[in-house]
Structures are given as C-alpha cells and as structure tokens.
Amino acid sequence: MITGNFKTSYAADESLWNNWAKRYGFVLAVVFLLVLPLFADNYVLLLAGQIAIYVIAVTGVNVLVGYTGLMSLGHGAFFAVGAYTTVILHQYVEHLFPLITLLVSIVVAAGFGFLFGLPSLRVKGLYLAVATLSANFIILFFIRQDWAAPWTGGRQGIETPNAMFFGQEMLSNTQKYYFIIPICLAMVLFAQNLFRTRFGRALIGIRDNDHSAEILGISLYAYKLKSFAISAAYCGAAGSLWAYFFPAILPEDFSLNLSITLVVCLIAGGMGRTLGPVFGTLLILLIPEMLKIVSGWATGGDGRALIHFSSIRDIVFGLIIILFLIFEPMGLVSIWDRFWRVVARWPFSK
C-alpha cells in the first residue's frame, strides 16, 4: 500500500507507473544498473548479465504461467530455439547486427510457441505440463542428433559468435552487460505494460476462470496461443542473448533442469506480478554464491567441501521451492509488499 497516491485524472490512473513509488523505484533501479560496472568486478558483471537473461526468460514464463494460468515445463526448449537460431544465423551471415538476430530469434521462438500452444485448448493443467515437458525432450533430442551437428554442433555443443556493433566486437563483460541490460529493462516494461491493455486483462480473465472468460467474448484458443507465442518469444530473446553472452552452448544447458529452474524462479518470486521474476531470479541465482561464501566460512577455505557442493546446492534449491510453497505461496513479492506496507503505515501496522 502506497500512501500519498492520489490521482486527479484517468490518464494518471492508467499510466504505466501509476504511483510515485514505482516511478522513483524504476529511476533508482536504472541509475543503479548504469553505474554498477564502475565499481563491480568482472565476476559480478558475469553474474549480473546472467541474471538479466534469466529475468527475461522468467518474465516470459510469467506471462504464460502467472498471468494466463497455463502450466509449462518446456520453456527450456524455447530458450534453446532462441540460442540455436542465433548461432545458425551467424553461420550464414557474418557480422550480423545483433538486434536483427535477436528479432529473428524472437520470431522463430514465437513460432515454436504457437506450435507448442496448439494442444493447449484441449489439454489442460497437468496434461499440458507433461505435453510441454515432452516437447522439450523431443526438441533437445533433435538438436543433439548427428545429422543436425553441422548446424547445432550435436552433443558436443557449439561455439557461439560474438556480437558485432558497427564493426566493433563485444568482448568484455562490461560491453555485454550494457548490451543486455537495456533489452532486459525494455522487455520487463513491455510485460508490465501488456497487462494494462485489453489483451493482458483477457489473459488474466482466462487464468481466473476460462469458461467465464469465454462467455465474456474472449476467444480462448486465440488468446492462449498468443500467450504461448509471447512467452516463447521472451525465452527466445533470452536464448539469443545467452548465445552472445557465453562462448559456447551445449544441448544440456537447455534441458528439463532449465525449464524447472525458470518455473522455480517464478514461484520463489511470485506469480502474476512484474517484480516476481526479478526477485525470484535474484534469489535463485544468488543462492549458489551465498552457499559458496557460507561453505568458505564453515570449512575455512578447505577445498574438500566443494565435492559435495553441487549436492548441497540441489538440496537447498529443492527445499526453497517446498518452503516457499508451504509458507509463502505468493513468493518474495508478498514479503516485499508486507514490508512496504509496514513502512508506509508505521507505527500503526506491523
């Protein structure tokens, strides 16, 4: 709850940043992101770029899972489609302008999203989750095949091109960071904006009750398909940036693990909220780093503890999902809301 949030016109009520907290919060975030490279080292920038890419993908998942209420465990496949589209485009055209490949990847991924969405009218809930999961397996299987190896590198993976801006190759993490962050911001804002429109509200209607939505004149099939396409497009963009960001990609990068991680980020952050994906991704991707620090303290820098690191990380990941589901089903966003409510109403509320 934001206090001092009175409006004198409908335009103000409908605007993208409909209260001062959002407005200044956004400005602060932009300033922070702009100056971060000045005092962050290379590793932090690597993490930041990775987080930004994940935020794009999770925002895409949010459009489908959080706003439209369709379950998907196959978004890793769209991610893969975006990444491999970028790599393959660069095989045919050298020195392609990165934004063009990004756009093409988005379109191709959206096309795949359409294809995945086709069963979504007949198939619901869990059956849809397993259908998307199957599609994920099948797409990755074809990427891994030997006959696809000239384009995708097969199971050995493939080296990815560097982004070229006007003859200037982007090599350092700082440059890549400044390439990714504006795209990430734009895409998050686009999602925020989407749900102010008729289209976005229709999706929310479908989530809340699809039969009622249909009675109100929303074509379920058209909207579900479009929702699939948009959410796939987000993941395609993330995949394309992923290909630019990392020196090589492997089919295993986009396995079921990625699909589930995306959903987990969404749950941890909070479904159906713009900030949910941001918080969730920050939490999930920073956990391994925190664990590294904690295990460094606990063992005094003993290398032997690292053997168990990945197992412990898995357990912590799993426990986070479960504990969030049990104790905070609305995700980090609801903690955030509660915190600001207390601050705004202090001392009348706790």
Kindly list the distances between the CA atom of residue 320 and the CA atoms of 248, 254, 268, 297, 311, in Å, as whole numbers in the listed order: 30, 22, 8, 22, 14
- Does 212 bind other proteins (CB under 8 A)? Our answer is yes
- Does 287 bind other proteins (CB under 8 A)? Our answer is no
- Does 134 bind other proteins (CB under 8 A)? Our answer is yes
The CB-of-18 to other proteins minimum distance in angstroms stands at: 29
The CB-of-296 to other proteins minimum distance in angstroms stands at: 19
Cβ atoms of 170 and 162 closer than 8 Å: yes
Query: In this structure, how many other beta carbons lie within 10 angstroms of the beta carbon of residue 200?
Result: 19
Choice between 25 and 125, CB closer to other proteins: 125
From residue 220 to residue 259, the character string flagging contacts with other proteins as x (rule: CB under 8 A) and all else as - is ------------------------------------x---
Integer Cα distance of 244 and 251 in angstroms:
16
Query: In this structure, how many other beta carbons lie within 10 angstroms of the beta carbon of residue 95?
Result: 10
3-state DSSP assignment of residue 179: helix
The CB-of-325 to other proteins minimum distance in angstroms stands at: 5
The CB-of-137 to other proteins minimum distance in angstroms stands at: 5
**Interface residues for other proteins in 289-318 (CB under 8 A)?**
308, 310-318
* The one among 24, 141, 190, 339 contacting other proteins by CB under 8 A: 141
* The one among 88, 143, 230, 264 contacting other proteins by CB under 8 A: 264
- Does 3 bind other proteins (CB under 8 A)? Our answer is no
Integer Cα distance of 78 and 236 in angstroms:
5
Stretch that binds other proteins, among 87-95, 96-104, 105-113, 130-138 (CB under 8 A): 130-138
- Does 218 bind other proteins (CB under 8 A)? Our answer is no
State the virtual CA torsion across 233, 235, 241, 245 in degrees, nearest 10.
-170
Cβ atoms of 333 and 273 closer than 8 Å: yes
Exposed (0-12), middle (13-18) or buried (19+): which is 50, by Cβ within 10 Å? middle
* The one among 21, 40, 46, 123 contacting other proteins by CB under 8 A: 123
Report DSSP state, residue 158.
E
Kindly list the distances between the CA atom of residue 110 and the CA atoms of 125, 139, 222, in Å, as whole numbers in the listed order: 21, 15, 14
Choice between 69 and 239, CB closer to other proteins: 69
Q: Which residues bind other proteins (CB under 8 A)?
A: 71, 118-119, 122-127, 129-131, 133-135, 137-138, 141, 145, 209, 211-212, 256, 260, 263-264, 267, 308, 310-322, 325-326, 329
